[in-house]
Chain A
Amino acid sequence: MLGWYFKKLRIRRELNSQKSEKEGQGNPQLQPAHLFPSLSKNLQLMRNIVGTSPDIIYRLVAFGPDNRYKAALIFLDGIATNTTIHDDIIKPLTMGSQLHQREEIVPDLDYISQVLIAVGNVKKISRTSEVVDSFLSGSTILFLDGTAEALALDTRGWASRGIVEPQTEMVVRGPREGFTETLRDNIALLRRKIQYPGFTVESMVIGRKTHTQVAIAYIKGLTNPELIKELKHRLQRIDIDAVLESGYIEQLIEDSPLSFFPTVGNSEKPDKIAGKILEGRAAVLIDGTPFVLTVPYLFIEGFMSAEDYYVRPFYANLLRLLRFVAFLVSLVLPAAYVAVSTFHQELLPTNLLITMASASAGTPFPAVLEALGMSLVFEILREGSLHLPRQVGSAVTIVGALVLGDAVISAGIVGAPMVIVIATTALASFLVVPYIPSTTVLRFILIIMAGFLGGFGLVLGLLAILVHLCALRSFGVPYLSPIAPLDPEGMKDSLVRLPWWKLSRRPRSINPLDQQRQVAGTKPGAPK
C-alpha cells in the first residue's frame, strides 16, 4: 500500500518539475540583451520594459557647448534621492565647468563619471537586465546619446524607519538598537559590531518579482566553509516570485519543514546576531524585514537571552533555569492536571486534592474539556490583544481576564484550579518566546492525550516529542547538541552559562574553524 503511494508521488513530482520548466521557457526576455547606441531607442526600450507609471521619471538633459550633447536620466521618484539628482548630477552636467569653454573635450561616460558628477557609487552597465535591475533598486540610470552603455548612479535613499529598540526582545541591560527594514542599515549595524576584516557579507537576489536583496553574513576563517556552501546551495535553490519577509526564506531553507520546532533562528537584535556569528554561525539578512535569520539553530538557543551574557552569571543562570522550568510548565501543566484529576487522584497530597475537589465541585464539564476550552479562550485573548491598538488591547485584557475569568468561576462553569492552571501555563509560555508556537500546538495535543490515556498518554506524548527532538538536525548539527550528543565545551553555555573567563573555547557543535575564543586563565581577582 505504501509502495503504491510512493509510486504515485514520484509520478506527480516528475509532472510538476516538467510543468515548472515549461513555465520558465514560456516567459522569455523579448527585449534585446544589450543597450542600443541611440538615446531615443534606449528610452523607448525602457518605456517598453518598465512602462510609464507616474513615479518613473524620464529626464532629458542637454549639455556641453550649444547643448550639443544629449543625455537622459531615469529614476524612481521616492526611491531615488531628489536632492542628489539635482545637485550632484544635473547641476554638474548642465553647468559643467570646463565643458562649455573647451570644445575639444568630448564627454563620454568615463569623463562624466570621473569628472562631472558627484555621486559615490557609479557603475557602467550595458546589459538591459542590469539596467532594469539597478533602476528598480533605486539607482538613477544615465543614458548618453551615441553610447551603447549606461551609468547606474547609486542615488538610493528612501523614507525608512529609524533604529529603535525592538519590541519583541526588550532588555534591561544591553544595546537598545534593533534592525530596521533596510538591508544596508542592517549590514552596517553588524559591521559596527564586528570590525574585523574577515567579516564577510555576500549578497544575492531572490524573488522573481520582488528582486529582494538577501545577504549572508559570516566571518571568514571562523565560520565553517561547509556551512556557507550548504547555506548558499539552499538559498540558490529557492525560485519564488516574492520574498516579503525572512519567514519566506526560513521556510524554504529549514531542515524539517513539518516539525513543530524551528530549525532556523531569528532575532531583531544586532548584538544577538553578532554573538551568533562570532560563535561560528551564519546570518541571513533579508531586505524589507528587521528579522535576521541564523543557522544552524539549536534547541538550547531558545532558552538563551542576549541579557544572559551581560548580567553576572549567578543571576543569568537562575533566569535560564527558570526558562527551562517555564518551558516544561507551559508544555505539560494542563495535560498533567487533566491526567491527575481524571486518572490519578491518589497521586496528590490529600489536602491538595480536597482543596481541588472543593473548588471544582459541581462544575459540569470533564476536566479535559475544561482544559481545552480554557486554553482556547486564552489563545483567543492573546491573539485578540496582540494585534489591536494598545488602547483597545487593555480593554480585551480587562474583559477577558477579569470579567470572563471571574464570571466563569463564580458561575461554576469551570473550576478555579483549572483557571489557575491555564493562567500559570499562559504566563510560563511567555518566558520562552521562540517556542510559543511549538508549545501552543503541542499543549493541545498533550491535553487530548492525557484526557484519553491519563499519565500514560502524557508520557507517551512527551516521549514522542523527545524522540522527535533527538532526530532533528539543523544544517547538519544535531538539534539537541550540546546535550545529545554531549559536547563538554558546549555544555559550559547550555543549561547554565559559566562566567566569561571560563568560556575560553567556542561550542564545538557548530564546528567553527577557530575554536579559541579567548586565552585561558583569565580569571580576574585582586592583585596578590
Chain B
Amino acid sequence: MGEKIPHSVIIVLLLLLCITTCTGCWDRRELKDLALVAGVGFDLPARGEGVTLIAQVIDPEMLRSPQGPSRGGGNSVSSSKPYWNITSTGETIFEAVRNCTHQSPFPLFWAHCQVAIFSEQLARQGVKDYLDFLLRDYETGPYIVLLVAEEKPEDILNLDTRLRKIPAFNLEACMKHLQNATSHGLEVTLGSFTKMLASQSRAPLASLVKAVKGEQGLYFSLEETAVFNRQAQMVGKLNREETRGLLWVLGEIKGGIIVIKSPDGSSKASMEILKSKSKVKPFLENGRIGVNISVQLESALGENWAFADELKESGRVFLEQQQAAVVEKEIRMAIEKARQLDADIFGFGDRFYQTYPQQWQKLKPDWNDIFKSLEVTVEVDSRMLFSPITSRSIRNF
C-alpha cells in the first residue's frame, strides 16, 4: 500500500487546493442576489445641482407565470408590476448609481441594461458627461440604446406595456423593428452616438420618445428624432418624414411604406420598400462645392386603390416617378431642417474629409457656414419590382 502513490502528485494537489480555496469566490455574485437593471433614465434634479437617476430594476419573482408557485404572495402581489423603478440622486452620475443601493437589497447589475433615456431638458444641456460614465463603466456596454424623452424619463419607464412586461425592454424591442418596418426612426446606441460625435462633422442623433395620451391611457410614440450639436447638446427635432429623408441619404432604409396619391387626390397606392442604397459624392471644383446624392430604390406594389394600371408601362412609370418624387421631397425636407439646426446630420463633412483630405482642413473651421450653402443635387433611381399578382384592382371589377 502506498508504494504506487507518487507523493509529488499529492503535494501538487494540495497546493492546487490551497490556490483555489484561498483565492476563491472574491468575484462571486449569485444570480438571485443581483438586481438586474433593464433600463436607466437620467434627469435634472428638481432643485439644485447634480443628477437624478431612475434605474428600472427587474423583479424576477413577479415575472413568473401565474400558474407557477409564488412564495409569500397572495393575489395582491400578482397584480403588482414586475419591475421597480429606483430613483436616486447624487452629485455625479456614479454617485447617483451607487446611491441606488441605499434602497436596493442587492447590488445593481448593469450588464443587461438595454436603454438609457435622457430628459429633453437634460439633453439640451449636453450629455457628454453621461456618455463618459456609461462608456467607462465596465458593466455597461456600447449596445445601450440612447433615447431622449420629451417629458420625464420616469413617465416613460412607468408606462404600462403589453407583451413585453418590462417597459425598458419593450422600448428596446420597438426600436429594433422600427427601422425595419417603417424607417421612421433610427436605432442609436451608445456606441454609434459616440462614433458620430468622434467623426469630423456629424451631428449626433437619438430617437425621441414621447408619452402620448390615448383612449386607453398613455402609450409611447417613437416617431421623431432628436438632433444634437457637436457638443452633444440637443438642438432640435426631426419629424417622421425628415427622419426618413435622413435615412435615405444615410442608406439606412430597411423597409417602409411610400404612399402615392392619384393625380386628382381621390385614390391612393402603397409601395413597399424592399431595398435601398445611397451614394453621397462630394465635389469641389472651380469654387463650386457640393454633394451629389443618388438613391437607389427598389419597391413593390403592396396596395392599389385603383388608379394606376400597373400592367401597362405607363402605370409603372407613373408609380416609379411618384415614388421618386416622394423620396426626393423627404430628402429635401431633411436637408432644410438640418440647415435650420446648423447640424450636419448626414455627415457630409466626413465625405469631404474622405475624398479631399487636404482641402478639408481648410473647410473644417467654416464648415457650419459651408454646410448651409452647400450645393446639393438629389437623384433617385426608383424601380418597381415584380409583376403584380392581380391584374386589376378590385375596385375596377
Are A5's CB and B31's CB within 8 A? Answer: no
Q: How far is the CA of A415 from the CA of B71 in the complex (A)?
A: 13
Looking at the assembled complex, report how far the CB atom of B7 sits from the nearest CB atom of chain A, in whole angstroms.
4
Are B8's CB and A2's CB within 8 A? Answer: yes
Nearest B residue (CB) for A453: B20
Asked if B265 is an interface residue, CB under 8 A from chain A, the answer is no
A1-15 interface with B by 8 A CB criterion? 2, 5-6, 9, 12-13
Asked if A394 is an interface residue, CB under 8 A from chain B, the answer is no
Are A343's CB and B28's CB within 8 A? Answer: yes
Nearest B residue (CB) for A351: B169
Are B30's CB and A366's CB within 8 A? Answer: yes
**A452 and B112 in contact, given A2-B8, A361-B32, A363-B32 (Cβ under 8 angstroms):** no
Nearest B residue (CB) for A350: B112
Asked if A210 is an interface residue, CB under 8 A from chain B, the answer is no
Nearest B residue (CB) for A257: B4
- Collect the chain B residues with CB atoms within 8 Å of residue A343's CB: 27-29
Asked if A342 is an interface residue, CB under 8 A from chain B, the answer is yes
Interface centre among A5, A342, A356, A363 (most CB of B within 10 A): A342
Q: How far is the CA of A350 from the CA of B172 in the complex (A)?
A: 12
Looking at the assembled complex, report how far the CB atom of A357 sits from the nearest CB atom of chain B, in whole angstroms.
4
Nearest A residue (CB) for B20: A452
**A412 and B24 in contact, given A12-B2, A346-B112 (Cβ under 8 angstroms):** no
Looking at the assembled complex, report how far the CB atom of B368 sits from the nearest CB atom of chain A, in whole angstroms.
41
Are B28's CB and A345's CB within 8 A? Answer: no
Name B's interface SS: loop
Q: How far is the CA of A16 from the CA of B2 in the complex (A)?
A: 11
Q: Which of B3, B28, B31, B141 contacts A12 (CB 8 A)?
A: B3
Interface range for B: 35 or more
Are A449's CB and B31's CB within 8 A? Answer: no
Q: How far is the CA of A341 from the CA of B61 in the complex (A)?
A: 17
Q: Which of A357, A367, A412, A453 contacts B60 (CB 8 A)?
A: A357
Asked if B21 is an interface residue, CB under 8 A from chain A, the answer is yes
**A342 and B28 in contact, given A350-B112, A359-B64, A361-B61 (Cβ under 8 angstroms):** yes
Q: How far is the CA of A359 from the CA of B112 in the complex (A)?
A: 18
Asked if A518 is an interface residue, CB under 8 A from chain B, the answer is no
Looking at the assembled complex, report how far the CB atom of B250 sits from the nearest CB atom of chain A, in whole angstroms.
28
Q: How far is the CA of A367 from the CA of B36 in the complex (A)?
A: 17
Asked if A201 is an interface residue, CB under 8 A from chain B, the answer is no
Interface string of A157-190 (1 = CB under 8 A from B): 0000000000000000000000000000000000
A305-349 interface with B by 8 A CB criterion? 341-343, 345-346
Looking at the assembled complex, report how far the CB atom of A417 sits from the nearest CB atom of chain B, in whole angstroms.
9
**A453 and B23 in contact, given A12-B3, A346-B112, A357-B36 (Cβ under 8 angstroms):** yes
Q: Which of B7, B24, B34 contacts A345 (CB 8 A)?
A: B34
Asked if B15 is an interface residue, CB under 8 A from chain A, the answer is no
- Collect the chain B residues with CB atoms within 8 Å of residue A412's CB: 69, 71
Asked if B360 is an interface residue, CB under 8 A from chain A, the answer is no
Q: How far is the CA of A359 from the CA of B61 in the complex (A)?
A: 7
Asked if B212 is an interface residue, CB under 8 A from chain A, the answer is no
Are A360's CB and B20's CB within 8 A? Answer: no
Q: Which of B30, B61, B139 contacts A342 (CB 8 A)?
A: B30
Interface string of B138-161 (1 = CB under 8 A from A): 010100000000000000000000
- Collect the chain B residues with CB atoms within 8 Å of residue A356's CB: 31
Asked if B63 is an interface residue, CB under 8 A from chain A, the answer is yes
Asked if B163 is an interface residue, CB under 8 A from chain A, the answer is no
Are A410's CB and B32's CB within 8 A? Answer: no
Are B25's CB and A362's CB within 8 A? Answer: no
Interface string of B21-51 (1 = CB under 8 A from A): 1011101111110101000000000000000
Are A452's CB and B21's CB within 8 A? Answer: yes
Are B31's CB and A350's CB within 8 A? Answer: no
Q: How far is the CA of A452 from the CA of B28 in the complex (A)?
A: 8
Are B27's CB and A345's CB within 8 A? Answer: no
- Collect the chain A residues with CB atoms within 8 Å of residue B11's CB: 2
Are B112's CB and A353's CB within 8 A? Answer: yes
Looking at the assembled complex, report how far the CB atom of B271 sits from the nearest CB atom of chain A, in whole angstroms.
35
Asked if B109 is an interface residue, CB under 8 A from chain A, the answer is yes
Q: How far is the CA of A293 from the CA of B9 in the complex (A)?
A: 29
Q: Which of A346, A354, A449 contacts B58 (CB 8 A)?
A: A354
Nearest B residue (CB) for A356: B31
Q: How far is the CA of A68 from the CA of B174 in the complex (A)?
A: 113
- Collect the chain A residues with CB atoms within 8 Å of residue B141's CB: 346
Asked if A519 is an interface residue, CB under 8 A from chain B, the answer is no
Q: How far is the CA of A150 from the CA of B5 in the complex (A)?
A: 49
Q: How far is the CA of A226 from the CA of B336 in the complex (A)?
A: 89
Asked if A482 is an interface residue, CB under 8 A from chain B, the answer is no
Asked if B114 is an interface residue, CB under 8 A from chain A, the answer is yes
- Collect the chain A residues with CB atoms within 8 Å of residue B32's CB: 357, 360-363, 415
Q: How far is the CA of A355 from the CA of B165 in the complex (A)?
A: 13
Are A452's CB and B24's CB within 8 A? Answer: yes
Interface string of B305-341 (1 = CB under 8 A from A): 0000000000000000000000000000000000000
Are B36's CB and A353's CB within 8 A? Answer: yes
Interface centre among B6, B20, B64 (most CB of A within 10 A): B20
Are B27's CB and A2's CB within 8 A? Answer: no
Q: Which of B6, B24, B64 contacts A358 (CB 8 A)?
A: B64
Across the A-B interface, the 10 shortest Cβ-Cβ residue pairs: A346-B111, A358-B60, A452-B24, A357-B60, A358-B63, A341-B31, A361-B60, A5-B7, A361-B61, A350-B112
A-B contact pairs, 23 of them (CB 8 A): A2-B8, A5-B7, A9-B7, A342-B31, A345-B111, A346-B111, A346-B112, A350-B169, A354-B36, A354-B63, A357-B32, A357-B36, A358-B61, A359-B60, A361-B61, A362-B32, A362-B71, A410-B69, A415-B32, A448-B20, A449-B20, A454-B27, A454-B28
With A355-B63, A360-B32 known, 16 other A-B pairs at CB within 8 A are A2-B8, A6-B7, A9-B7, A12-B2, A258-B5, A345-B31, A345-B109, A353-B36, A354-B166, A357-B34, A410-B69, A449-B20, A451-B28, A452-B24, A452-B25, A453-B24
